[in-house]
Amino acid sequence: MGARHVLIVEDERPIREMIAFGLKRAGFEVREAEDCLGARVAIADRRPDVLLVDWMLPDTSGLELTRALKRERETRDLPIIMLTARGEEHDMVLGLEVGADDYITKPFSPRELIARIKAVLRRADGAGHEELLESGGVRLDRAGHHVSIAGCGIALGPTEYRLLEFFMTHPDRVYSREQLLDRVWGGSVYVEERTIDVHIGRLRKALAGHGCDRLVQTVRGSGYRFSTRVET
Ligand code: CA
Protein backbone atom coordinates (compact mmCIF):
# COMPACT_ATOMS: atom_id res chain seq x y z
CA MET A 1 0.00 0.00 0.00
CA GLY A 2 1.37 3.45 -0.93
CA ALA A 3 1.46 6.49 1.33
CA ARG A 4 -1.90 7.22 2.91
CA HIS A 5 -3.34 10.50 1.94
CA VAL A 6 -4.62 13.01 4.52
CA LEU A 7 -6.54 16.19 3.79
CA ILE A 8 -6.29 18.84 6.53
CA VAL A 9 -9.12 21.38 6.68
CA GLU A 10 -8.00 24.16 9.00
CA ASP A 11 -8.04 27.92 8.49
CA GLU A 12 -5.28 28.78 10.95
CA ARG A 13 -2.18 28.48 8.86
CA PRO A 14 0.41 27.89 11.62
CA ILE A 15 -1.66 25.02 13.02
CA ARG A 16 -2.30 23.58 9.58
CA GLU A 17 1.37 23.71 8.67
CA MET A 18 2.42 22.21 11.96
CA ILE A 19 0.04 19.27 11.47
CA ALA A 20 1.14 18.87 7.84
CA PHE A 21 4.79 18.85 8.88
CA GLY A 22 4.25 16.14 11.49
CA LEU A 23 2.21 13.97 9.14
CA LYS A 24 4.65 14.26 6.25
CA ARG A 25 7.46 13.30 8.55
CA ALA A 26 5.46 10.23 9.54
CA GLY A 27 5.20 9.22 5.88
CA PHE A 28 1.72 10.52 5.03
CA GLU A 29 0.91 12.36 1.86
CA VAL A 30 -0.72 15.62 2.88
CA ARG A 31 -2.94 18.20 1.23
CA GLU A 32 -4.33 21.30 2.87
CA ALA A 33 -7.56 23.27 2.61
CA GLU A 34 -8.40 26.41 4.55
CA ASP A 35 -12.18 26.26 4.43
CA CYS A 36 -15.10 23.96 3.58
CA LEU A 37 -15.27 25.09 -0.02
CA GLY A 38 -11.58 24.33 -0.48
CA ALA A 39 -12.12 20.95 1.15
CA ARG A 40 -14.98 20.16 -1.24
CA VAL A 41 -12.85 21.02 -4.26
CA ALA A 42 -9.91 18.96 -2.96
CA ILE A 43 -12.12 15.92 -2.22
CA ALA A 44 -13.78 16.09 -5.63
CA ASP A 45 -10.36 16.34 -7.23
CA ARG A 46 -9.00 13.33 -5.37
CA ARG A 47 -10.53 11.44 -2.50
CA PRO A 48 -8.25 11.39 0.57
CA ASP A 49 -7.95 8.37 2.87
CA VAL A 50 -8.62 10.48 5.96
CA LEU A 51 -10.01 13.95 6.53
CA LEU A 52 -9.00 16.13 9.48
CA VAL A 53 -11.60 18.83 9.98
CA ASP A 54 -11.30 21.77 12.31
CA TRP A 55 -14.52 22.72 14.08
CA MET A 56 -14.22 26.49 13.56
CA LEU A 57 -13.87 27.37 9.89
CA PRO A 58 -14.53 30.68 8.14
CA ASP A 59 -17.31 29.59 5.76
CA THR A 60 -19.33 26.65 7.06
CA SER A 61 -18.50 24.98 10.37
CA GLY A 62 -16.49 21.79 10.36
CA LEU A 63 -19.47 20.16 12.03
CA GLU A 64 -21.70 21.00 9.05
CA LEU A 65 -19.06 19.82 6.60
CA THR A 66 -18.80 16.50 8.45
CA ARG A 67 -22.56 16.10 8.55
CA ALA A 68 -22.85 16.82 4.82
CA LEU A 69 -20.05 14.44 3.81
CA LYS A 70 -21.47 11.64 5.94
CA ARG A 71 -24.84 12.05 4.23
CA GLU A 72 -23.50 11.78 0.71
CA ARG A 73 -23.12 8.35 -0.77
CA GLU A 74 -19.68 9.01 -2.32
CA THR A 75 -18.13 10.27 0.90
CA ARG A 76 -20.06 8.61 3.70
CA ASP A 77 -17.29 6.06 4.31
CA LEU A 78 -14.52 8.65 4.26
CA PRO A 79 -13.01 8.60 7.77
CA ILE A 80 -13.23 11.99 9.48
CA ILE A 81 -11.43 13.15 12.60
CA MET A 82 -12.64 16.44 14.04
CA LEU A 83 -10.14 18.87 15.54
CA THR A 84 -11.25 21.36 18.08
CA ALA A 85 -10.17 23.67 20.81
CA ARG A 86 -13.30 22.92 22.71
CA GLY A 87 -13.02 20.18 25.21
CA GLU A 88 -16.59 19.97 26.31
CA GLU A 89 -18.35 16.65 26.43
CA HIS A 90 -21.36 18.15 24.65
CA ASP A 91 -19.29 19.13 21.61
CA MET A 92 -17.66 15.75 21.44
CA VAL A 93 -21.06 14.09 21.43
CA LEU A 94 -22.28 16.48 18.70
CA GLY A 95 -19.27 15.70 16.53
CA LEU A 96 -19.76 11.97 16.86
CA GLU A 97 -23.50 12.30 16.31
CA VAL A 98 -23.07 13.88 12.91
CA GLY A 99 -20.85 10.96 12.00
CA ALA A 100 -17.27 11.98 12.79
CA ASP A 101 -15.20 8.82 13.26
CA ASP A 102 -13.09 10.32 16.00
CA TYR A 103 -12.39 13.53 17.79
CA ILE A 104 -9.23 15.18 19.05
CA THR A 105 -8.95 18.24 21.28
CA LYS A 106 -6.32 20.93 20.73
CA PRO A 107 -3.61 21.09 21.77
CA PHE A 108 -2.59 17.56 20.81
CA SER A 109 0.77 15.99 20.10
CA PRO A 110 1.62 14.85 16.56
CA ARG A 111 2.11 11.40 18.01
CA GLU A 112 -1.41 11.32 19.43
CA LEU A 113 -2.87 12.53 16.13
CA ILE A 114 -0.98 9.92 14.13
CA ALA A 115 -2.20 7.17 16.46
CA ARG A 116 -5.79 8.34 15.93
CA ILE A 117 -5.33 8.49 12.15
CA LYS A 118 -3.91 4.98 12.05
CA ALA A 119 -6.80 3.71 14.16
CA VAL A 120 -9.52 5.14 11.86
CA LEU A 121 -7.63 3.85 8.82
CA ARG A 122 -7.52 0.36 10.28
CA ARG A 123 -11.26 0.51 10.94
CA ALA A 124 -11.99 1.86 7.47
CA ASP A 125 -9.83 -0.79 5.79
CA GLY A 126 -11.65 -3.48 7.68
CA ALA A 127 -15.06 -2.05 6.94
CA GLY A 128 -14.70 -0.94 3.39
CA HIS A 129 -13.07 -3.70 1.43
CA GLU A 130 -14.15 -7.04 2.73
CA GLU A 131 -16.43 -8.83 0.33
CA LEU A 132 -17.50 -11.39 2.85
CA LEU A 133 -18.64 -10.33 6.30
CA GLU A 134 -19.18 -12.87 9.04
CA SER A 135 -20.34 -12.21 12.55
CA GLY A 136 -22.26 -14.18 15.15
CA GLY A 137 -23.14 -16.87 12.62
CA VAL A 138 -24.47 -14.43 10.02
CA ARG A 139 -22.67 -14.40 6.68
CA LEU A 140 -23.12 -11.48 4.31
CA ASP A 141 -21.72 -11.73 0.81
CA ARG A 142 -21.44 -8.17 -0.47
CA ALA A 143 -20.55 -9.16 -4.01
CA GLY A 144 -23.60 -11.36 -4.36
CA HIS A 145 -25.91 -9.38 -2.02
CA HIS A 146 -26.60 -12.64 -0.29
CA VAL A 147 -27.16 -13.29 3.40
CA SER A 148 -27.06 -16.70 5.02
CA ILE A 149 -27.02 -18.33 8.43
CA ALA A 150 -25.61 -21.84 8.82
CA GLY A 151 -25.76 -22.27 5.07
CA CYS A 152 -29.44 -21.27 4.76
CA GLY A 153 -30.19 -18.22 2.63
CA ILE A 154 -32.10 -15.41 4.36
CA ALA A 155 -34.54 -13.28 2.41
CA LEU A 156 -34.15 -9.60 3.25
CA GLY A 157 -35.70 -6.50 1.75
CA PRO A 158 -33.24 -3.94 0.31
CA THR A 159 -33.48 -1.67 3.36
CA GLU A 160 -33.00 -4.53 5.81
CA TYR A 161 -30.01 -5.66 3.75
CA ARG A 162 -28.42 -2.19 3.91
CA LEU A 163 -29.12 -1.99 7.63
CA LEU A 164 -27.48 -5.35 8.25
CA GLU A 165 -24.50 -4.44 6.07
CA PHE A 166 -24.07 -1.18 7.96
CA PHE A 167 -24.33 -2.93 11.32
CA MET A 168 -21.87 -5.65 10.36
CA THR A 169 -19.31 -3.13 9.19
CA HIS A 170 -19.82 -1.00 12.32
CA PRO A 171 -20.17 -3.50 15.16
CA ASP A 172 -20.30 -2.88 18.90
CA ARG A 173 -21.20 0.77 18.56
CA VAL A 174 -24.52 2.36 19.40
CA TYR A 175 -26.27 4.33 16.64
CA SER A 176 -29.20 6.64 17.27
CA ARG A 177 -32.17 6.54 14.90
CA GLU A 178 -31.03 9.85 13.45
CA GLN A 179 -27.56 8.47 12.77
CA LEU A 180 -29.00 5.37 11.13
CA LEU A 181 -31.15 7.62 8.95
CA ASP A 182 -28.08 9.53 7.84
CA ARG A 183 -25.86 6.55 7.28
CA VAL A 184 -28.24 3.93 5.90
CA TRP A 185 -31.01 5.93 4.24
CA GLY A 186 -28.96 8.99 3.30
CA GLY A 187 -29.76 12.40 4.69
CA SER A 188 -31.66 13.68 1.69
CA VAL A 189 -34.50 11.19 2.14
CA TYR A 190 -37.36 12.07 4.43
CA VAL A 191 -38.13 9.13 6.66
CA GLU A 192 -39.77 9.22 10.05
CA GLU A 193 -37.60 7.86 12.83
CA ARG A 194 -40.37 5.42 13.70
CA THR A 195 -39.89 3.80 10.30
CA ILE A 196 -36.46 2.66 11.44
CA ASP A 197 -38.03 0.64 14.23
CA VAL A 198 -40.19 -1.11 11.64
CA HIS A 199 -37.17 -2.06 9.53
CA ILE A 200 -35.23 -3.14 12.62
CA GLY A 201 -38.22 -5.31 13.53
CA ARG A 202 -38.22 -6.91 10.08
CA LEU A 203 -34.49 -7.50 10.20
CA ARG A 204 -34.78 -9.16 13.61
CA LYS A 205 -37.65 -11.30 12.39
CA ALA A 206 -35.62 -12.47 9.40
CA LEU A 207 -32.73 -13.37 11.69
CA ALA A 208 -34.90 -14.76 14.49
CA GLY A 209 -35.66 -18.09 12.88
CA HIS A 210 -32.00 -18.87 13.26
CA GLY A 211 -31.51 -17.43 16.73
CA CYS A 212 -29.50 -14.49 15.42
CA ASP A 213 -32.00 -11.75 16.27
CA ARG A 214 -30.13 -11.16 19.53
CA LEU A 215 -27.32 -9.61 17.48
CA VAL A 216 -29.47 -6.55 16.78
CA GLN A 217 -29.71 -4.97 20.20
CA THR A 218 -31.86 -2.12 21.46
CA VAL A 219 -29.99 0.31 23.68
CA ARG A 220 -32.67 2.00 25.70
CA GLY A 221 -32.81 5.75 25.19
CA SER A 222 -29.96 5.68 22.66
CA GLY A 223 -30.67 3.53 19.64
CA TYR A 224 -29.41 0.26 18.24
CA ARG A 225 -26.24 -1.74 18.22
CA PHE A 226 -25.03 -4.84 16.40
CA SER A 227 -22.95 -7.03 18.65
CA THR A 228 -22.08 -10.65 19.26
CA ARG A 229 -21.55 -9.81 22.91
CA VAL A 230 -24.31 -10.66 25.31
CA GLU A 231 -26.83 -7.89 25.81
CA THR A 232 -26.62 -6.19 29.17
CA1 CA B 1 -10.16 27.16 12.90
Ligand 1 centroid to Cα of residue 101, in Å, is: 19
Say what the pLDDT of residue 11 is.
Answer: 96
Q: Is the peptide bond before 107 cis (omega within 30 degrees of 0)?
A: yes
Does 104 lie in the same domain as 151?
no
Whether the predicted pLDDT of 53 surpasses 80: yes
Q: How far is CA 108 from CA 27, 83, 84, 104, in A?
A: 19, 9, 10, 7
Say what the pLDDT of residue 126 is.
Answer: 66
Domain boundary among the residues 101, 128, 155 is at: 128
27: left (phi over 0), alpha (psi -120 to 50) or beta: left
Strands 102-105 and 132-135: unpaired
Ligand 1 centroid to Cα of residue 20, in Å, is: 15
Asked if residue 165 is part of any domain, the answer here is yes
Does 52 lie in the same domain as 116?
yes
**How many CA atoms does the CB half-sphere of 140 hold within 13 Å?**
19
Whether the predicted pLDDT of 224 surpasses 90: yes
Does 145 lie in the same domain as 119?
no
One-letter amino acid at 115 equals A
Does 184 lie in the same domain as 144?
yes
Taking only the tens place, the pLDDT of each residue in 109-163 is 889 999 999 988 887 776 656 788 999 999 999 888 899 998 899 999 999 999 9
Which CATH number characterizes residue 91's domain?
Answer: 3.40.50.2300
Gap between the Cα atoms of 188 and 202, Å rounded = 23
Query: Structurally, how many domains does the chain consist of?
Result: 2
Range of the domain at 211: 130-226
Ligand 1 centroid to Cα of residue 49, in Å, is: 21
Residue 226's SS3 state is: strand
Taking only the tens place, the pLDDT of each residue in 6-38 is 999 999 999 999 999 999 999 999 999 999 999
Does 35 lie in the same domain as 123?
yes
Does 122 lie in the same domain as 81?
yes
Domain boundary among the residues 112, 128, 144 is at: 128
- Residue 91: pLDDT band by 50, 70, 90 thresholds? confident
- Which of 77-81, 95-99, 148-152, 228-232 bottoms out in mean pLDDT, i.e. has the lowest? 228-232
Say what the pLDDT of residue 129 is.
Answer: 62
Taking only the tens place, the pLDDT of each residue in 182-192 is 788 876 667 88
Strands 138-141 and 132-135: antiparallel
Asked if residue 231 is part of any domain, the answer here is no
Say what the pLDDT of residue 186 is.
Answer: 72
Which CATH number characterizes residue 148's domain?
Answer: 1.10.10.10
Domain boundary among the residues 93, 128, 163 is at: 128
Taking only the tens place, the pLDDT of each residue in 158-216 is 999 999 999 998 888 889 998 898 788 876 667 888 899 999 999 999 998 677 999 99
Ligand 1 centroid to Cα of residue 10, in Å, is: 5
Say what the pLDDT of residue 232 is.
Answer: 53
Whether the predicted pLDDT of 97 surpasses 90: no
Say what the pLDDT of residue 187 is.
Answer: 62
Ligand 1 centroid to Cα of residue 7, in Å, is: 15
Does 206 lie in the same domain as 109?
no
Whether the predicted pLDDT of 1 surpasses 60: no
Ligand 1 centroid to Cα of residue 21, in Å, is: 18
